[in-house]
């Protein structure tokens, strides 16, 4: 393939890939992207067992969660930049190998600190998947068109991993101990490497690279990309605030057992998976702007429903509200991924995708602080409504931005 006009050949460009080859490549990419959401959610079920086995307190054991999120947020742009310059296939497969290796030795960890290090390395390896996968999809897609179906497949993998993680971990921890939630990564990573070697297009020779920080800074200061990043961080702040606060309220204010609270959250992840194909179809047909407006409206509706929940709300009503909560995350993610795909320069698509994922983790981490402030005096219905009022205001702002963007697009 000839170099793109106005830019040098990068490690993300190959000769054209036929449609069957693109489908196989996307399957391989989704296998890799599945690992990070799976590992981020599986560990939650194992925290109690880990706390007991390593004799640490609650604040210490949660470093297995915080360390993973922090490492993912910091490393994503770096791995994306490496994918742009060294080649996405190389970086993708190296990350999977790192995940497989550290998870193979994790059950042998002699002390808790070593296990935290394993989680950090696990996050670093998993952080190669999305930006490298996005760079491969960009390089293999003809004519610069937004590959909505491919982006939908990655989003389904993320949603499925987050949804299935706690259930899978529950069985693994119950029958094989906490060690199994690390060991299960070994065959998954091996499968990802094998399919990647067979189905991913070979990289071009690495291109000379300027300083990565300069390119990342350029992406952050680009007005179009900065708006996408801020919107994605805000969307995730609202979504994770609802996703994390609702089970706390259900257990402590409504008195539901943990398994019932967990079951009431299943519609959130399940509907998110079901929403991905029609959202991708809408992006392919009408562009990403209408999808962003619909996703922002659903985000506002979910925040308003959270404001309406109370001690007398029937369980069926809570389940119906949870279904609404599942709509906006997928719609906004696919819409903003499509916007990013069109706005990011081809030679820096990996770094742009890494920053995009960083915004997801920034929103998730900020949600913890927002929930902590709202629930300072207890997990009461009043505190839930205080949180909901803030989320309504933020969702309204996201909707306003989406509507203005849609009008400018027309």
User: Would 221 be classed as within a structural domain?
Assistant: yes
pLDDT band with cut points at 50, 70 and 90 for residue 367? confident
200 three-class SS: coil
Q: In angstroms, how far is the first alpha carbon of the chain from the final one?
A: 33
- Are residues 269 and 325 both part of a single domain? yes
Q: Is the pLDDT score of 5 beyond 50?
A: no
Least confident piece of the model among 219-223, 248-252, 272-276? 219-223
Higher pLDDT, 323 or 185: 185
- Are residues 150 and 251 both part of a single domain? no
Q: What's the pLDDT at 259?
A: 67
Q: What's the pLDDT at 197?
A: 93
Whole-number Å distance between alpha carbons of 245 and 345:
38
H helices then E strands: how many in the chain?
Answer: 17, 0
Higher pLDDT, 43 or 260: 43
Q: Is the pLDDT score of 237 beyond 50?
A: yes
How far is residue 115 CA from its own chain's centroid? 23
Tokens 């993680």 correspond to 165
Of 200, 232, 247, the domain-final residue: 200
- Are residues 21 and 155 both part of a single domain? yes
Of 139, 168, 200, the domain-final residue: 200
Please give the residue range of the domain that contains residue 49. 17-200
Least confident piece of the model among 113-127, 177-191, 295-309, 322-336? 322-336
User: Would 358 be classed as within a structural domain?
Assistant: yes
Q: What's the pLDDT at 264?
A: 77
How far is residue 154 CA from its own chain's centroid? 10
Least confident piece of the model among 102-106, 115-119, 270-274, 354-358? 270-274
Report residue 146 as tokens. 């937004």
Q: What's the pLDDT at 208?
A: 57
- Are residues 138 and 160 both part of a single domain? yes
What's the chain's length in residues?
410
Other Cβ atoms within 10 Å of 111 Cβ, number: 10
- Are residues 152 and 195 both part of a single domain? yes
Q: Is the pLDDT score of 1 beyond 50?
A: no
- Are residues 222 and 316 both part of a single domain? yes
- Are residues 359 and 405 both part of a single domain? yes
Average pLDDT, stretch 360-375? 86
Of 179, 200, 221, the domain-final residue: 200
Mean per-residue pLDDT over the chain, rounded: 84
Q: Is the pLDDT score of 256 beyond 50?
A: yes
Q: What's the pLDDT at 206?
A: 63
Report residue 41 as tokens. 């959610």
Whole-number Å distance between alpha carbons of 335 and 159:
15
**Which CATH number belongs to the domain containing residue 310 in this structure?**
1.20.1250.20
Average pLDDT, stretch 50-79? 87
Q: What's the pLDDT at 327?
A: 80
User: Would 123 be classed as within a structural domain?
Assistant: yes
Between the CA atoms of 222, 289, 31 and 115, what dihedral angle is there, to the nearest 10 degrees? 50
Q: Is the pLDDT score of 267 beyond 80?
A: no
- Are residues 247 and 107 both part of a single domain? no
Whole-number Å distance between alpha carbons of 205 and 207:
6
User: Would 12 be classed as within a structural domain?
Assistant: no
Q: Is the pLDDT score of 276 beyond 80?
A: yes
Number of domains in the chain: 2
């Amino acid at each position: 393939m000839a170099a793109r006009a106005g830019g040098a050949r990068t490690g993300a460009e190959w000769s054209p890939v036929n449609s069957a080859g693109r489908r196989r490549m996307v399957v391989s990419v989704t296998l890799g992207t599945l690992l990070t959401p799976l590992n981020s959610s599986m560990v939650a079920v194992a925290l109690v067992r880990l706390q007991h086995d390593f004799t640490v307190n609650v604040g210490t054991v949660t470093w297995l969660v915080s360390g993973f999120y922090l490492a993912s947020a910091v490393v994503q742009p770096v791995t994306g930049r490496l994918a742009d310059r060294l080649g996405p296939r190389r970086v993708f497969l190296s990350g999977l190998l790192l995940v497989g290796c550290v998870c193979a030795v994790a059950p042998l960890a002699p002390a808790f600190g070593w296990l935290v290090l394993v989680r950090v390395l696990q996050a670093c390896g998993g952080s190669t998947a999305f930006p490298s996968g996005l760079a491969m999809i960009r390089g293999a897609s003809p004519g610069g068109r937004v590959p909505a179906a491919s982006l939908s497949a990655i989003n389904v993998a993320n949603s499925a991993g987050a949804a299935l993680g706690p259930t899978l971990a529950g069985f693994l921890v119950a029958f094989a101990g906490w060690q199994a939630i690390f060991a299960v990564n070994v065959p998954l990573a091996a499968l990802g490497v094998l399919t990647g070697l067979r189905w991913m297009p070979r990289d071009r020779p690495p291109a000379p690279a300027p300083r990565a920080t300069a390119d990342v800074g350029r992406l952050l200061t680009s007005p179009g990309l900065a708006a996408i990043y801020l919107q994605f961080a805000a969307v995730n702040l609202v979504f994770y605030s609802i996703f994390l606060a609702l089970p706390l309220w259900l257990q402590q204010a409504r008195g539901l057992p943990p398994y019932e609270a967990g079951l009431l959250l299943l519609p959130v992840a399940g509907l998110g998976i079901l929403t991905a194909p029609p959202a991708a179809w809408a992006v392919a047909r009408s562009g990403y702007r209408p999808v962003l407006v619909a996703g922002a409206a659903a985000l506002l509706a979910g925040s308003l429903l959270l404001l309406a929940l109370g001690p007398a709300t029937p369980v069926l009503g809570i389940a119906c509200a949870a279904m609404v909560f599942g709509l906006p995350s997928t719609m906004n993610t696919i819409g903003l991924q499509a916007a990013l795909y069109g706005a990011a320069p081809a030679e820096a698509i990996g770094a742009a995708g890494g920053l995009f994922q960083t915004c997801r983790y920034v929103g998730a981490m900020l949600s913890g602080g927002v929930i902590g402030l709202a629930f300072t005096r207890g997990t009461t219905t009043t505190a839930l409504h205080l949180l909901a009022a803030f989320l309504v205001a933020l969702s309204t702002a996201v909707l306003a931005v989406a509507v203005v963007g849609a009008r400018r697009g027309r």
